[in-house]
Amino acid sequence: MPVTPSFACRAVLLLALLSFGGLAQADALVQGQVTDAVTERPLPSANVRLVELDRTATTTPGGEFSMFGVPPGQYTLQVRYIGYRPEERTITVPESGAITETVALAAVGEQIVVTGYRASQASSLMDKRMSDIIKESVTADDAGKLPDQNAAEALRRVTGVTSTVDQGEGRYVTVRGVDPSYTNVTLNGNVIGSPEDTRRVSLDTIPSEVMSKIEVVKSVTPDMDGNAVGGSINIETPSAFNDPDGSFFSTTADVGYYDMNGKYPTRVALAWGQVFGPEEQWGVVLSGSYSDRNYASENLQGGDPWEEEGAFFIPDSLVLRDYRIERVRKGIVANLEYRPNARLKLYLNNLYNEFEDTEVQGESVWDYRNGDLLNQTATSGLFTEGEGERLMSERVETQIIQTSTLGGEYLLDNWILDASFTYGKARQETPTDREWSFELAEAIPMTYDTSDLFFDVNAGPEFHDPSMYEFNEYNRGGQLIDGENTAIEINLQRQMDWGGHSGYLKFGAKRMTRDKDSDQDLTVFDGFADDLTLTGFTLPGKEDFYSSVRPYYDFGFRIDYDAIESFFTDNSAGFEASAADTVAESFGSDFDVSEDVSAAYLMGVVDIGRATFTGGVRVERTEAEYSAFNILFEDGDALPPTRVTGGDDYTNWLPGLQMRLQVKDDLIVRAAWTNTIGRPSFDVAVPFRIFEVEEDDPGVFEGEIEAGNADLQALESMNLDLAVEWYLESAGLVSAGVFYKDIEHPIFTRFIELEDETFEGRFFNELVIETTDNAESGEILGLELNYQQQFRALPEPFNGFGVALNYTWSDSEATVFDREEKVPFFLQSDGIGNAAFFYERSGFEARLAFTYYSRYLDALAADPSQDVYIDARGQLDFKTSYAFTDHVSAFFDWENITDEPLRFFSGDNEVLLAENEFYGWNMSAGVQLQF
């Protein structure tokens, strides 16, 4: 009979019962904690080993370790940690019960106290070293604050990881160049939802202050979710049991300055943790953060695409956008734990994040390519009938991520049982989405100049005369994307003796449901009863627009948003709505999604000599149902929308095998063969369709279609990894790794152009279809290099220096639809690099960091020569701090020092500018208190 996921789940439960039935009697428990000898801070991921038994354990974030089922006898307990002297001691294990050992390690170089960035780097390296799989991590510093503004910015320092930029801030995290939709994101190992209409989790919504560690798993194991073509990102929150004193309190406050608008962003964060109860069995952590960033950006676009006009290529238009932005972040963590003994742990973890983004945008548009072209040269020309437009918009958007997990872990003899239930909500609410548009009443001559990268268009004085602009359109409405997810999971792990080799067997099952719906209501007004111009509704525009790269652009006036909104309120009855456009905007983005995933897995880990093998298989059954709307326009008139349903169900078997080989104490070789999937994103999988039909001649039509695709297949990726890691004294690392991904069914946007063909019973002389489809296949090959070193062996005062360098080279290609030549994957940079130089001594710390990514493909066009690429970008940041006492410190940050822009090009070149956006630099200074 066929093997189904439900059958596999029942098999896992049966295996658990049989295994419990054969449970052996327990021996003793060896437990304890590893700490820093000077600061008494716990050392996570330390290697603890019973030499005679070759049994190892890795310490928790609180520095704790435990080994169950240890036979009675005398053993050598060995403890190792990067940057610290190893410790050995003899222990005597009784017949039964528990023995507790506290081990305090001394740092290499007694004169140096390991704190701040040094401690964070050492902890991250130790976490990587002791892992049985290929992973990276970023840990918090002494005050519980990561070195960047949000999770996305912290992760872009990691080898093979970068983040997309939105208004100057890191947002979506890309692992090894794979679309963020195909990277799994969890909180304390449990799933969290995306507030958007995609699977991407925008990590700029999560402030750094509520996190204790972020880890990036590049070679997932069978006990992890399979939707991880790029990898899996796990965000950990603090625990009171991880503090050596059992209590802590910290607060951070800072104020900044933005160069572009002269505003002063503010931020404050608080964190409190306490262990309490008669036996200190309870632990609670409450932390929160609030930041208010009010800043600006300057945007130029219009070169998407460049098209041939006359004898030369010229941009489509010139668009200047002046953004004024306010972003407010609120983050709360509330964790409660109960640990009555070493065997039982119960917890309730809660996270709430709210991210409010308010963007007010003024826009000037030179639509110059109309009329006759005169006096053309290689870089200039004049069009006789240029058109102009002025726009003003306001968008207020709030994203909320809320998740709660109730779970526990129980250790019984050689068994570990853990179970959890997670409930989460993810919402994106846009209560205000408004845009005004006014157009020039008459066409006027316009000249263009492409002699500079930043092309220019000039017009006569009419372009800057408010009385010349007539009302064109007003969009007014909002949207709500609401999501809910639940997950229930159970895992069982048993210590095993595999023919004289130690290891464990682990198996479990998981059921995850996700419901998401989108509802947009937007009214489009395209007429007014009387004449309406911009006279009396303007304010002076920005005078020094783009002055950082040229004298300036003449942006002209801005629409007075408050004044024109008040006018609408007082005269709303005079505005006329467009039925067709309102239907398109109000139904085109509406959808409902229901997705259920059932999973089961079986995996084993065995130590054979110096090698550790991890292998097993995971099976996932996905069942998805979608609904959206089909919207048809007949000669500009909208017919009543009809609801369309679709869906898919499929089963994926995901085997994997990984090896960690300890060649020497300081040399590790890793290899991995894994299989993962990438489920289609919601916004492209729902079966929406907007079909515009115009009858040119009787019985002859032309049309355009924009549509989703409910028949999309999930990506299937076979992944190979090989890495060598050489760990240096004083918290150093030299490593190199090669990875390869063979991806079936990659998803790309597809353009289909039909000419003189019959489609759905009509003859079209031209029909353009834009949809999303599975391409044939694709490959990604990459090389990761990493070097980190703390130079503690140097003489004073140079022993405070350190460096962290990494670079990832990758090459990707995909066979896409009807194209003869292969294309790279979306978001796939050939090169990603980071360089950080730091100094830390006697309470002083300074770090200069540079992060870089090379050009990558952003979007495919119907014409391959017009594909859109995002240009290479390198950002330089500086941070310094000084600890006045053990409890008080001050810091200073300087971000985007060189005012690096976000830049798009039309075509595979760096000549035809499509878009450019400047953000300016910003500084902040603040204080930290810690007790």
Is the pTM higher than 0.85? The answer reads: yes
Sign of the alpha-carbon dihedral angle for 763, 768, 774, 779: positive
Mean pLDDT per block of 10 residues along the chain (931 residues) reads: 42 40 54 82 83 82 80 89 84 83 77 61 82 86 54 82 81 86 88 87 73 88 94 88 81 92 91 91 92 92 88 94 93 93 90 93 96 95 96 96 94 87 95 96 96 93 96 96 95 86 92 95 94 94 84 88 96 94 91 96 93 95 96 89 93 96 92 96 92 92 93 94 90 92 90 91 93 90 93 84 92 84 86 91 88 89 84 92 89 92 88 92 91 82
C-alpha pair distances (Å), 541 with each of 376, 394, 396, 558, 803 = 31, 16, 22, 5, 45
657-673 CB burial, b ≥16 within 10 A, e <16: ebbbbeeeeeebebbbe
Radius of gyration (C-alpha) of the chain in whole angstroms:
30
- Are the CB atoms for 155 and 163 separated by under 8 Å? yes
Phi and psi angles of residue 122, each rounded to the nearest 5 degrees, phi first: -65, -40
Cβ within 8 Å of residue 127, ≥6 positions away: 44, 45, 135, 137, 139, 213, 215
Sign of the alpha-carbon dihedral angle for 604, 658, 804, 78: positive
Confidence at residue 811, expressed as pLDDT on a 0 to 100 scale:
92
CB 767: neighbour CB atoms within 10 A?
A: 23
> What is the side-by-side strand order in the sheet with 98-105?
64-70, 28-36, 98-105
Residue the block writes with tokens 């210590």: 495
Cβ within 8 Å of residue 147, ≥6 positions away: 117, 120, 141, 154, 157, 208, 847, 879
Nearest to 151 by CA among 209, 196, 198: 209
- Are the CB atoms for 868 and 905 separated by under 8 Å? yes
Confidence at residue 111, expressed as pLDDT on a 0 to 100 scale:
47
Phi and psi angles of residue 312, each rounded to the nearest 5 degrees, phi first: -140, 160
Confidence at residue 19, expressed as pLDDT on a 0 to 100 scale:
39
Phi and psi angles of residue 152, each rounded to the nearest 5 degrees, phi first: -65, -40
Confidence at residue 115, expressed as pLDDT on a 0 to 100 scale:
59
Phi and psi angles of residue 596, each rounded to the nearest 5 degrees, phi first: -120, 135
C-alpha pair distances (Å), 876 with each of 136, 169, 208, 851, 895 = 22, 13, 19, 7, 7
**CA 75, chain centre distance (Å):** 46
DSSP code for 681:
P
C-alpha pair distances (Å), 780 with each of 543, 814, 855, 858 = 46, 9, 16, 17
Phi and psi angles of residue 372, each rounded to the nearest 5 degrees, phi first: -90, 145
393-417 CB burial, b ≥16 within 10 A, e <16: bbbbbbbbbbbbbebebebebbbbb
454-464 CB burial, b ≥16 within 10 A, e <16: ebbbbbeebbb
DSSP code for 127:
H
Give the DSSP per-residue string, 142-201. Answer: TTS--SSSBHHHHHTTSTTEEEEEETTEEEEEEETTB-GGGEEEEETTEE---SSSSS--
Confidence at residue 392, expressed as pLDDT on a 0 to 100 scale:
97
Cβ within 8 Å of residue 818, ≥6 positions away: none
Confidence at residue 817, expressed as pLDDT on a 0 to 100 scale:
78
